[in-house]
Amino acid sequence: MSSPPSPSEPAIEPDKEPPGLLDRDHSILAFNDRVLDWARRDDVPLLERLRFLCIVSSNLDEFFEVRAAPHLTALQLRDPSGTYSLDSFEALAARAHDLVDRQYSLYNDALMPAFAALGIKIVSHGERTVQQRRWVGEYFDREVRPLLVPVGLDPAHPFPQVANKSLNFIVRLRGSDAFGRENEVAIVKVPRVLPRFSRLPARVTPKGTLFVSLSSVIRSHLVDLFPGREVTEFSQFRVTRHSDLAFDEEDVRDLRAALRQGLEHRNYGQAVRLEVSAGCSGFLSDFLLSQFNLPAGALYRVHGPVNLVRLNQLIDLVADPALLFPSWKAALPKQLQQGSSIFQQVAMKDVLIHQPFESFDGVLGFLREAVNDPQVLAIKQTIYRTGSDSELMELLREAVRRGKEVTAVVELKARFDEEANINWAEALESIGAQVVYGVVGLKTHAKMLLITRREGRVLRRYGHLSTGNYNPRTARLYTDISVLTADAEMTADMDAVFSHLASQNRLPKLKRLWLAPFHLHKKMIEKIERVGQSAARGEGGRIVAKMNALTDEPLIRALIEAGQRGASIDLIVRGACMLPAGVPGFTDNIRVRSIIGRFLEHSRVFYFREGEDVQLYLSSADWMNRNMLRRVEIAWPVNDPDLRQRIIDECLVGYLCDDQDAWALDPEGVYRHVPRLGAQAHGVQQALMDRYGGSVKSNHS
């Protein structure tokens, strides 16, 4: 039986309806607003500002590829009964258009002038000197023109298949073709193998650092592609397509083969967005909209490159250290003594690694020692996103060659990493590793590595659990927590999970791990409810939860109820959050903040206090319905008091005190910068860099 409400519980007016949850898609776009703010900040180095602009564009690409199709389908079906409707499409389109407009305003009015002031410029055709135009013409004839195939549209040449996010030109022509026909529209596909930017050589550049874009090179020579015809109108264009692979796994006999086939068609899924140059005529834009079966709201006229993501190449071409963040090299994990066996150290005490402030080399060193140790008999690991070039995967292959039993649970359905994972699965399988693909209908998102080692007459297990992926590249860019442990109960649970994933047998009762989709969701809700009950009894209750997204409605309802019972709740949610915080009479005791920093916040940390009892969990899972019910995820307790306090200080308290990079969600559902508490702002990521004392080299020295 639940406890009665506390007298201090906020009063709920009976005639007022509880506020609805915030919209998930709008919350995702709001997150990108916060990322875009880094591109606005004058205290951020110029190339890094450009990088954040590119990140927003990349995020928007994925947003449209994954989230836009249901809105468009509802619009086309004119079905007002579902979640999506004409109103939902128009509201989302208005929000997305506004964000894109602000991106290009920032690009044109702030970033490009700032680069120009430093002598760095993308030179348009009209700005080029005679010598520069001659060089561009030679470059076009030598490198570009041989790869272009203009397609004039007629009954024998229908509108060509246009790949997802590819650069193209549409051209309107006057006059007749070689056969006397007046086909007025042509399409020119731009090959992806060509670099999007080229630096003009010093001999045609008297001063400064000048570049030409590929689109400008082609634009200035379009007429050369249609001899005898007059080019009257043209525009760049780019179409984004729905790219979430979907098929019925229950009917698939070979998941790997089905995914390979799906990948072949991903680039040609349902069109969801059309980007054109700002000056594109109504005739050409209407023609493209009809070809892609898109409404007017899906058309984005942009004042600049139609693919801002490709400006990342410009960052690499300029590569001026003075325009970048001071370089950061992560510190060696402070708990690991160099030159000593990691197994021996972990046998004495659990080891915590806080990335990227501490180096992922600690994890690689753990696996490397296992591969080289003749006493290690077996290695089991989950593979979600390791990247196409991974030392970790090469170590697993070496372990197989050395005769160790290697089991890899490879998640083939890791979105946009499917091909790399298929390739790794085949490479491991070909040399004798046991490769399994998890559970039908579920993604295996848990991050686990388990080593079995012979020590005298016994076999002892050593485990690694992490909130993030086994990817050395992202380990330098994402904040994550991982733990090395020899705890017998924890590693026995890990072994049981691996056996379950491989055999599909019934899972035994676990002592330490919480596993989705079986009991993670239920356990989290129970913890929240118990904190609320403790608060209602007057014993105090506190929840601090750090995650990437909060969209699961049962968890949100549990948090709201616990807050109404008097629990004090702080949520540190990087991205989408559907919980309306600080609403008088409903969520007074709940605060939501988002930290956007140099590194991508990725760790999941959950703190529960009932009276004097404190429990802390780390997890691979966000509080989303898919993570709780449609994925294999883990959460595990941190019981060592020293490690627990370290995590509380570094991952929770530090983030709640940040007044430099933090945003707070207000009762109207709007994120606002947290005001600075004093003359010197506190940025938690910089504070952690200072604490760990890794190698920071000034780019101005």
Give the pLDDT confidence of 609-663 residue by residue, as tens digits.
999 999 999 999 999 999 999 999 999 999 999 999 999 999 999 999 999 999 9
Give the bridge partners for 85, in sequence order.
Answer: none
Nearest Cα to Cα of residue 483 among 636, 606, 257, 585 = 636
**pLDDT reported for residue 2:** 35
Is the confidence at residue 58, as pLDDT, over 80? yes
Q: pLDDT tens digits, residue range 506-542?
A: 889 999 999 999 999 999 999 999 999 999 999 999 9
Q: Are 696 and 327 in contact (CB under 8 A)?
A: yes
**pLDDT reported for residue 63:** 94
Q: Are 444 and 417 in contact (CB under 8 A)?
A: no
* Torsion sign across C-alpha atoms 362, 368, 374, 375: positive
**pLDDT reported for residue 515:** 96
Catalytic residue ranges: 445
- How far is Cα 531 from Cα 45, in angstroms, rounded to an integer? 44
Fold (topology level) of 24-323: polyphosphate kinase like (3.30.1840)
Half-sphere exposure of 8 (CA within 13 A, CB side): 14
Q: Are 461 and 491 in contact (CB under 8 A)?
A: yes
Please state, as a whole number, how many other Cβ atoms lie within 10 Å of the Cβ of residue 453.
21
Nearest Cα to Cα of residue 424 among 384, 385, 393 = 393
Tell me the percentage of the chain whose pLDDT exceeds 90: 73
Q: Write down the residue that tokens 């990493």 correspond to.
A: 417
Q: Write down the residue that tokens 């993570």 correspond to.
A: 627
- Strand bridging mode 351-355 / 478-485: antiparallel
- Share the mean pLDDT of the chain: 89
- How far is Cα 515 from Cα 635, in angstroms, rounded to an integer? 7
Q: pLDDT tens digits, residue range 571-608?
A: 999 999 999 999 999 999 999 999 999 999 999 999 99
Is the confidence at residue 482, as pLDDT, over 90? yes
Is the confidence at residue 698, as pLDDT, over 70? no
Q: Are 485 and 350 in contact (CB under 8 A)?
A: yes
Is the confidence at residue 32, as pLDDT, over 50? yes
- How far is Cα 481 from Cα 604, in angstroms, rounded to an integer? 8
Is the confidence at residue 292, as pLDDT, over 60? yes
**pLDDT reported for residue 113:** 97
Report, at the CATH architecture level, how domain 516-697 is classified. 2-Layer Sandwich (3.30)
Name residue 625's amino acid.
N
Residue 447's Cβ-count burial label (10 Å; 0-12, 13-18, 19+) is: buried
What confidence tier does 35 reach under pLDDT thresholds 50, 70, 90? very high
Mean pLDDT, residues 34-43: 96
- How far is Cα 218 from Cα 190, in angstroms, rounded to an integer? 9
Fold (topology level) of 329-512: Endonuclease; Chain A (3.30.870)
Region of 456 (left: φ > 0; alpha: ψ -120 to 50; beta: rest) is left
What confidence tier does 393 reach under pLDDT thresholds 50, 70, 90? confident
Q: Are 687 and 654 in contact (CB under 8 A)?
A: yes
Give the three-state DSSP class for 215: helix
**pLDDT reported for residue 617:** 98
- How far is Cα 439 from Cα 502, in angstroms, rounded to an integer? 8
Question: Looking at 247-251, 388-392, 423-427, 535-539, which range is the least confident one?
Answer: 247-251
634 backbone dihedrals φ, ψ, rounded to 5° = -130, 155
What confidence tier does 701 reach under pLDDT thresholds 50, 70, 90? very low
**pLDDT reported for residue 7:** 34
248: Cβ–Cβ under 8 A, 6 or more apart, which residues? none
What ranges do the domains of the chain cover?
A: 24-323, 329-512, 516-697
Same fold, 329-512 and 516-697: yes
Is the confidence at residue 8, as pLDDT, over 60? no
539: Cβ–Cβ under 8 A, 6 or more apart, which residues? 610, 611
- How far is Cα 253 from Cα 247, in angstroms, rounded to an integer? 12
Q: Are 472 and 392 in contact (CB under 8 A)?
A: yes
- How far is Cα 669 from Cα 170, in angstroms, rounded to an integer? 41
Give the bridge partners for 499, in sequence order.
Answer: none
Give the bridge partners for 434, in sequence order.
Answer: 407
What confidence tier does 696 reach under pLDDT thresholds 50, 70, 90? low
Higher pLDDT, 7 or 645: 645
- How far is Cα 623 from Cα 615, in angstroms, rounded to an integer? 18
